[in-house]
Structure 1
């Protein structure tokens, strides 16, 4: 394949534009056709038959010993025969770049059968006997193939193929081929291409298949025959307008596709398919179909696997395909083929940073394909409007959020913990350069969504839907996130070996992700449910370092914990009464669930560290136990336990002022104890997630001494 510099040199602007379609990319087929064109130009060059060749199929044989075995046949006289000159009837040589077009190899990717071209690729390390059989089959099998014979009958030089077949009927000639190959290989196995060279004029040279039009046309017809007979069709072809070029042509209905779209068993693309009439549903001309098939190398280079699916992220020139832009596109595709260690998204971002591409000039086709048995494929999440901006901006926004906002950053608080815990070894709670990789590979959602076996994944997998959404700039449904979050929390709550209790870092990660997706610059969060609309709004957490809470005026002699709680609730739209003052609203109910969780987490931590209890309220009231019908009872029992500890501390301290955690208890009386939660409208996943967020908040709500904690951390690192 030509390097980008070689490609520019061989195809300057005027020559390249002459090879390109006139219209902008408007469909997946247009994009695949462009990829196929570029691949063909970069490997086999231009010309009528170039798209039909498959140079990559035998690419690993280039410049290797004994990689090309050539049967030489003289058909210049009335009696066709094997060559008897100094080079002999069979040559065993090296396959080289200069011979790619001359041997005219066209691979037939089937376990059995012969290649479309007279040139055939043997299996790896074939023994001399097998190689001899393949060599003889160039005369005894390919030359008499039904499609090849039909092509020969209508071609002016068809007699050449007929003469090959005559030599194939000569047993002495076949024995000579076998004996010569065995002798020249010295009994050793080899991996080789098998082909022929033919002398058609008595004073002429022996010519390669690629130099004789009749061989090219026979190869072309044999390959085309497979485009109309797949899936047991007799002849799925007809005259129609080619959907790629817009010109009248013979169109085919069962052609192959780099992404396995529009196949006979692709029911969502072909509802009620009559295989013989497939060309009417999806008319693509013969030559366009072949060019589309050649897109496979570039398509696969821009593809990666995750969650049991194949994700396609295919760049294309947005608008008119000017030569300079196509040159940059070719470089991007070439680099994707050569640099397999990263996803195509990261490759594109790297090129954008190096200014070898400009983002505004490119868009990306995005989709995911889920394979099933029996050659079935489910396609979902397709869009031609993907932009590198979407995953890149999400990665930037996530790092900004974790690094700067008060909800997750203890540097905002001198004497008190931040609302939520952080952990620099926890993917979504740390700022790093790997967020783009996490987003593009789906790891961004694997960390927070319910766990699944990728081997048993299906097309309804919400992880894949979320991934395709963020790659294409489409919003994710809040309902999906809440369901996935809660399922993961409940699953991990009981995994004592990994989390050693309540999964607070998981919940903090989920909440950070939820907030980032709600960022107004991204608009990646949506809902059709008015009761969840507040969740889709971006929080307004402070990004400035706060002074000591001792220095902040606190109304009515309250404590720093009350001020922090008030601030967190007011700055979180899903909880804030400033966004919805109705005491009976879902926002109020959600706030009640959060406050209950905060009290459970607070008292649970007290039980663990002050009472040395192994089982706390956090264990007693796991997330899965919280429902509308139970939340009031859980609240009453938690408040009662809080009052018990208040009385104990009053006795121990000689008069404890007020109620323990009274800044939470007082608000709970208003939100849960007075109303009847059984009549609430909030959905269970919504209720449970914000309860879990509250537990995480409460467990992390305590004073801390910056100097002592920093000293402890330094000792641990040393």
Structure 2
């Protein structure tokens, strides 16, 4: 395959402009056709027969021992005969780069049968007897094939093929070929291409199949015949407008596809499909179909696997195609084929776009995920032509910035109190990481937060793969699905076998960070049809530091930072924040009540664990799976009662409280949870449970920043001395 420099040299702009379609890409077939064109130019060159050749099929044989077995036939006299010169009737040599065009190989990807070209590729490590049989079949099978003989009958040089077929009737000739092959291989097995050379004039040279039009035309006709006869069709072809080029031509209905779409077995794609009339449902011309098939190398280089599905991420340039765009696209595709780096196509495209300063608005992607099944059936997820690198890249950057800079996850330098939610450098979603784009690209981003499956491979309706495709293509994810997945994962973690695991606070914080990143107003990757959940899809704005100075703390909360932190977090989180048109009975108010209840349970539970040395706390007593609308009132009453008990105990021990312990939570909870009565709440269970879990995480993290306090005390001690 040509390097970019070689490609540019061989195909200057004026030459390339004539080879590529000028019209904008408007379909998957258009992308495949362009890929096929570029691949053909880079491997077999231009010309009528170039798209039909398969130079990569035997590329691993180049420059290997005994990789080319040539049956040499002299047709220069009245009676055809095997060659009798120094090289002999059978010449075993090395398949080399300069022979790729000459042998004119066209692979037929079938378990049985012969290749389309007279050149045939044998299986790996075939024994001499099998290779001898394949050598004889260049005459006995290929030259006598019905399609080949029909092509010969209408070609001026058809006599060449007819004389090969005539030789096939001679047992003496066939025996000589067999003996020569076995003797030349010395009894050793080999992986080889088998072909022929023919001499046409007495004083002429032996010529390769690729040098003679009759061999090329017979190869072409044989390959075309397969495009109309797959799946037991007799002749699925007819005159129609080619959907790729827009020209009137003979179109075929059962051609192959690099992505296995539009197959005859895919009856659900075309209900009531008649195989013979398939060309009407999906008309593609013969030459376009073959060019599309040649896209496979580039298509495969731009795919990767995750959750058992195959993700296609195929780059192309928006608008009319130009030589300049073709060069840039070829560079992307060439690097995808030849670079060994273990990165996804998304990461490679990101790196290339930065290095080459490629406009991300011009660079688009076809995105889909395919789940293969038996019998060549496939489920296709979220197919789109409008994928942009912007979405996975920006999601990765947004998430990193959120957990490192946003006040919801970072402690104010002026404040000796923890951030609202915890971070942890050992949790990928709670720390900045350089491989976030890889996490997003592979779906690991959702694997960490969604419900776990017994089988790591995705099902036909697996929300992990659907979420991945949505992000790659820029389509919004239903927030209802996220909440369902989040809660299921939380409950799984809560009821795990490890008794020391405790409440999964880092998981909940990770889920919330993901939820916030997806809600970014520049991405808009969250959606819902439920007006009650609409606030969850809005982006929180945590960039503003919660408490700037000690004076602000005293002014807003009587000198205690916990109350100001809670008020700011609620007000800056749209899913929880009161609004002017918020009635007491709104779902947002109910969600806020669930959060506050969780915050109090988490706060008291932490107190029980660290001050009371209790092995079972309120957090254990009221797990997420136990929280329902009907239990909210009881849990709230019991938790507030427990808070009052601890307040009285501490006052008896000499500690002075101006009010109730954790009163910054209790007061707000009382306001929220009693009006309306929780029995009349309308909030969905998943919504209720997730924000209760978020509250528990908040409450467990709601305490002085011990590390900051110790650091401040050390600094003060050093200043005194």
Answer yes or no: is 1:476 the counterpart of 2:449.
Answer: no
- Equivalence for 1:301: 301
- Equivalence for 2:668: 667
| Structure 1 residue 106, shift from structure 2 partner | 0.6
Which digits, 9 at most, give the CA deviation of each residue in 1:311-343, with x for residues without a partner? Answer: 111111211211111111100100011124111
- Equivalence for 2:310: 310
Answer yes or no: is 1:109 the counterpart of 2:96.
Answer: no
- Equivalence for 1:716: none
Give the direction of change, closer, same or farther, for the CA distance of 1:710–1:474 in structure 2 (3 Å limit). farther
Give the direction of change, closer, same or farther, for the CA distance of 1:36–1:367 in structure 2 (3 Å limit). same
CA distance in 2, matches of 1:343, 1:710: 44
**Which has the higher mean CA deviation after the structures are superposed, 305-314 or 653-662?**
653-662
CA distance in 2, matches of 1:231, 1:473: 37
**Which has the higher mean CA deviation after the structures are superposed, 163-172 or 3-12?**
163-172
Q: Is the 8 A contact 1:580 1:587 kept in 2?
A: no
CA distance in 1, matches of 2:413, 2:268: 53
Answer yes or no: is 1:189 the counterpart of 2:216.
Answer: no
- Equivalence for 1:552: 553
CA distance in 2, matches of 1:89, 1:172: 13
CA distance in 2, matches of 1:520, 1:322: 34
- Equivalence for 1:685: 686
Give the direction of change, closer, same or farther, for the CA distance of 1:459–1:173 in structure 2 (3 Å limit). same
| Structure 1 residue 707, shift from structure 2 partner | 4.4
- Equivalence for 1:346: 347
CA distance in 2, matches of 1:600, 1:314: 49
CA distance in 2, matches of 1:455, 1:231: 33
- Equivalence for 1:93: 93
Q: Is the 8 A contact 1:365 1:382 kept in 2?
A: yes
**Which has the higher mean CA deviation after the structures are superposed, 93-102 or 227-236?**
227-236
**Which has the higher mean CA deviation after the structures are superposed, 492-501 or 69-78?**
492-501
- Equivalence for 2:6: 6
Answer yes or no: is 1:270 the counterpart of 2:253.
Answer: no
CA distance in 2, matches of 1:677, 1:263: 55
CA distance in 1, matches of 2:81, 2:333: 47
CA distance in 2, matches of 1:482, 1:707: 34
**Which has the higher mean CA deviation after the structures are superposed, 623-632 or 284-293?**
623-632
Q: Is the 8 A contact 1:407 1:568 kept in 2?
A: yes
For 1:69, what is the secondary structure of its paired residue?
Answer: strand
Structural RMSD (CA): 1.9
For 1:552, what is the secondary structure of its paired residue?
Answer: helix
CA distance in 2, matches of 1:556, 1:591: 20
Q: Is the 8 A contact 2:412 2:545 kept in 1?
A: no
| Structure 1 residue 222, shift from structure 2 partner | 1.2
TM-score, with length taken from structure 2: 0.96
CA distance in 2, matches of 1:371, 1:579: 52
Which digits, 9 at most, give the CA deviation of each residue in 1:606-638, with x for residues without a partner? Answer: 111111111111111111111111111111221
CA distance in 1, matches of 2:449, 2:580: 27
CA distance in 1, matches of 2:235, 2:710: 77
Aligned residues: 712
- Equivalence for 2:430: 429
CA distance in 2, matches of 1:631, 1:268: 48
Answer yes or no: is 1:156 the counterpart of 2:171.
Answer: no
For 2:470, what is the secondary structure of its paired residue?
Answer: helix
Give the direction of change, closer, same or farther, for the CA distance of 1:579–1:210 in structure 2 (3 Å limit). farther
Answer yes or no: is 1:603 the counterpart of 2:604.
Answer: yes
Which digits, 9 at most, give the CA deviation of each residue in 1:18-71, with x for residues without a partner? Answer: 001131111111110000000000000011111011111100001111110000
CA distance in 2, matches of 1:309, 1:80: 55
- Equivalence for 1:139: 139
Q: Is the 8 A contact 1:68 1:194 kept in 2?
A: yes
Give the direction of change, closer, same or farther, for the CA distance of 1:16–1:152 in structure 2 (3 Å limit). same
Give unmatched runs, 5+ long, in structure 1.
713-718
Q: Is the 8 A contact 2:90 2:181 kept in 1?
A: yes
- Equivalence for 1:567: 568
Which digits, 9 at most, give the CA deviation of each residue in 1:111-165, with x for residues without a partner? Answer: 1111111111111111111111111111111111122122222222222111111
CA distance in 2, matches of 1:650, 1:135: 99
CA distance in 2, matches of 1:178, 1:159: 24
- Equivalence for 1:393: 394
| Structure 1 residue 203, shift from structure 2 partner | 2.4
CA distance in 1, matches of 2:79, 2:712: 97
CA distance in 2, matches of 1:120, 1:139: 12
For 2:304, what is the secondary structure of its paired residue?
Answer: strand
Q: Is the 8 A contact 1:404 1:543 kept in 2?
A: no
Give the direction of change, closer, same or farther, for the CA distance of 1:708–1:66 in structure 2 (3 Å limit). farther
Give the direction of change, closer, same or farther, for the CA distance of 1:460–1:292 in structure 2 (3 Å limit). same
For 1:599, what is the secondary structure of its paired residue?
Answer: helix
Q: Is the 8 A contact 1:126 1:189 kept in 2?
A: yes
Q: Is the 8 A contact 1:554 1:560 kept in 2?
A: no
- Equivalence for 1:506: 507
For 1:381, what is the secondary structure of its paired residue?
Answer: strand
- Equivalence for 1:15: 15
For 1:553, what is the secondary structure of its paired residue?
Answer: helix
